[in-house]
């Protein structure tokens, strides 16, 4: 049944937006009127059958953003409905009624439309690659094949929520230092550009040779006051140049290698990659996705060319009959603890459980390390600000002291 997006007015003249299923546009208009509303605009979303003919999937309207958290909630709700024994199409209907985001409701309606046409849920989800990742789709496919779709969806929701929670904790830990840095840079810029020139004007009329710190401060202040726009432009050009370089294979490889080898951040980046590897591979194995297929998908979420290439080689070696622990042991990018946990999991037949434990351990270490780093940033920033302000104060006071000595 086609799905329509509509705009209508209620009896109080308030504008309403939503979606409705109907056999045709007149039927949709009639349903809206029966609900006591006046239809203003009705537009059909492109159904799945037409998308296969080349018309494409209609994207949500601009400004209607679908957050990942909403996807996780919808996944858990669908898992609950399926776990209660409700068939897939009625479960999607129930999910449609519980979803408040109109853009997400449109997507769910399109998925339900695809399932109604006789397609699998995996096939319907595949029409929305921007919302549902390869991991999500492959796990759903494994759940449909094994008849445990509700269990797989529950695990998918847990996996997404865990990843989101870790990202949120990391962002929360970085917000304060970033805010402090921005405020500090802004204050110093205002001080050097606008305050210092009005003070150093006093020394301009004197024929006295100014101390070196004062000369440096005056020249720096003059440079910022006259050419701040040029410095800002150079900064923006530098950012664009770096982004272009990182989009090239050679630049990306150089940056990815730096992340894994640079002292101070290499250990953290390797642990972040290990946590992602363990959590994702564990979830896919729990869902019944074969190890070889899982490795091919996991390599795309590590966000590092060197690690992706290592997993490509691992997949090749896996086909030759080697165990995963042997393959990972031969790579310098995977930590000894992760390799050992994989080996124990292979020996005990509980690889997914060991990977999950390793991921949990690394996630705790990552959080503790980031908190430790951010706690160090604050005193370093305060010390830096103090040194810069001290330099400014000394640069202003030195010529004043010298003038006082000359007067005496």
Of the given ranges (58-62, 244-248, 350-354, 378-382), which has the lowest mean pLDDT? 58-62
Query: Does a structural domain hold residue 390?
Result: no
- The C-alpha atoms of residue 197 and residue 176 are separated, in whole angstroms, by 31
Q: Is the pLDDT of residue 48 over 80?
A: no
**Strand order across the 38-44 sheet:** 15-21, 3-9, 38-44
Per the prediction, the chain carries an average pLDDT of 82
What pLDDT does residue 254 have? 92
- Please write the tens of the pLDDT for every residue from 331-368: 888 888 999 999 999 999 889 899 989 988 998 888 88
Higher pLDDT, 150 or 210: 150
How big is the CA angle at 339 (ends 334 and 344), to the nearest 5 degrees? 165
Question: How many C-beta atoms lie closer than 10 Å to residue 77's C-beta?
Answer: 17
Higher pLDDT, 407 or 308: 308
Determine the structural domain holding residue 355 and report its residue range: 266-366
Q: Is the pLDDT of residue 101 over 60?
A: yes
Mean pLDDT along residues 296-313: 84
Query: Does a structural domain hold residue 359?
Result: yes
What pLDDT does residue 59 have? 44
- Please write the tens of the pLDDT for every residue from 13-39: 777 777 777 777 788 778 888 888 877
- Please write the tens of the pLDDT for every residue from 205-251: 666 677 888 888 888 888 888 888 888 899 999 999 999 998 898 89
Query: Does a structural domain hold residue 144?
Result: no
Query: Does a structural domain hold residue 50?
Result: no
Please give the model's pTM, rounded to 2 decimal places: 0.67
What six digits make up the tokens of 330?
Answer: 């031969």
Q: In CATH, what number is assigned to the domain containing residue 338?
A: 1.20.81.30
- Please write the tens of the pLDDT for every residue from 253-296: 999 899 888 887 888 889 888 888 988 888 888 888 888 888 88
Query: Does a structural domain hold residue 325?
Result: yes
What pLDDT does residue 344 have? 93
**Closest C-alpha to 57, from 121, 111, 99:** 111
Q: Is the pLDDT of residue 109 over 80?
A: yes
Contact 136, 289 (CB under 8 A): no
Q: Is 62 left (phi over 0), alpha (psi -120 to 50) or beta?
A: beta
Query: Does a structural domain hold residue 403?
Result: no
Q: HSE on the CB side for 83, CA within 13 Å?
A: 12
* Residues of the chain above pLDDT 90, percent: 7
pLDDT band at 112 (very low <50, low <70, confident <90, very high): confident
Contacts of 123 (CB under 8 A, 6+ apart): 114
Mean pLDDT along residues 170-182: 80
What pLDDT does residue 55 have? 38
* Residues of the chain above pLDDT 70, percent: 91
What pLDDT does residue 221 have? 85
What pLDDT does residue 241 have? 93
- The C-alpha atoms of residue 50 and residue 110 are separated, in whole angstroms, by 11
For residue 185, give Cα distances in angstroms to 15, 191, 250, 328: 46, 10, 33, 44
What pLDDT does residue 46 have? 54
Q: Is the pLDDT of residue 47 over 50?
A: no
User: How many domains does the chain fold into?
Assistant: 2
Query: Does a structural domain hold residue 106?
Result: no
Query: Does a structural domain hold residue 319?
Result: yes
Q: Is the pLDDT of residue 322 over 90?
A: no
- The C-alpha atoms of residue 368 and residue 372 are separated, in whole angstroms, by 6
């Amino acid at each position: 049944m086609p799905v329509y997006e509509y705009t209508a007015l209620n009896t109080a003249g308030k504008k309403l937006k939503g979606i409705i299923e109907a056999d045709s546009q007149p039927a949709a208009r009639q349903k809206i009127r029966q609900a006591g509303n006046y239809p203003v605009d009705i537009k059909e979303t492109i159904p799945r059958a037409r998308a296969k003919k080349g018309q494409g999937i209609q994207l949500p309207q601009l400004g209607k953003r679908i957050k990942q958290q909403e996807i996780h909630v919808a996944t858990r709700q669908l898992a609950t409905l399926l776990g209660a024994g409700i068939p897939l199409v009625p479960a999607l209907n129930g999910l449609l009624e519980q979803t408040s985001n109109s853009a997400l409701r449109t997507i769910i309606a399109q998925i339900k439309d695809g399932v109604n046409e006789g397609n699998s849920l995996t096939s319907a989800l595949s029409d929305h690659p921007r919302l549902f990742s390869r991991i999500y789709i492959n796990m759903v496919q494994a759940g449909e094949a094994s008849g445990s779709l509700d269990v797989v969806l529950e695990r998918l929701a847990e996996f997404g929520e865990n990843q989101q929670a870790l990202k949120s904790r990391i962002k929360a830990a970085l917000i304060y230092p970033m805010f402090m840095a921005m405020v500090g840079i802004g204050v110093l810029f205002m001080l050097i550009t606008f305050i210092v020139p009005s003070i150093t004007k006093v020394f301009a009329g004197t024929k006295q040779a100014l101390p070196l710190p004062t000369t440096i401060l005056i020249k720096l202040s003059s440079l910022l006051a006259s050419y701040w726009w040029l410095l800002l432009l150079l900064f923006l050009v530098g950012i664009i140049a770096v982004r272009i370089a990182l989009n090239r294979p050679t630049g990306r490889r150089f940056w990815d290698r730096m992340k894994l080898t640079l002292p101070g951040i290499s250990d953290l980046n390797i642990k972040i990659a290990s946590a992602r590897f363990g959590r994702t591979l564990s979830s896919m194995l729990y869902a019944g996705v074969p190890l070889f297929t899982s490795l091919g998908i996991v390599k795309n979420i590590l966000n590092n060319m060197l690690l992706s290439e290592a997993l490509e080689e691992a997949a090749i070696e896996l086909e030759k009959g080697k165990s995963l622990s042997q393959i990972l042991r031969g790579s310098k990018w995977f930590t000894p603890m992760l390799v050992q946990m994989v080996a124990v999991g292979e020996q005990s037949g509980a690889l997914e459980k060991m990977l999950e434990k390793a991921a949990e351990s690394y996630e705790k270490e990552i959080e503790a390390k980031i908190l430790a780093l951010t706690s160090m940033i604050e005193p370093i920033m305060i010390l830096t600000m103090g040194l810069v302000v001290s330099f400014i104060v000394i640069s202003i006071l030195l010529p004043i002291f010298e003038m006082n000595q000359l007067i005496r």
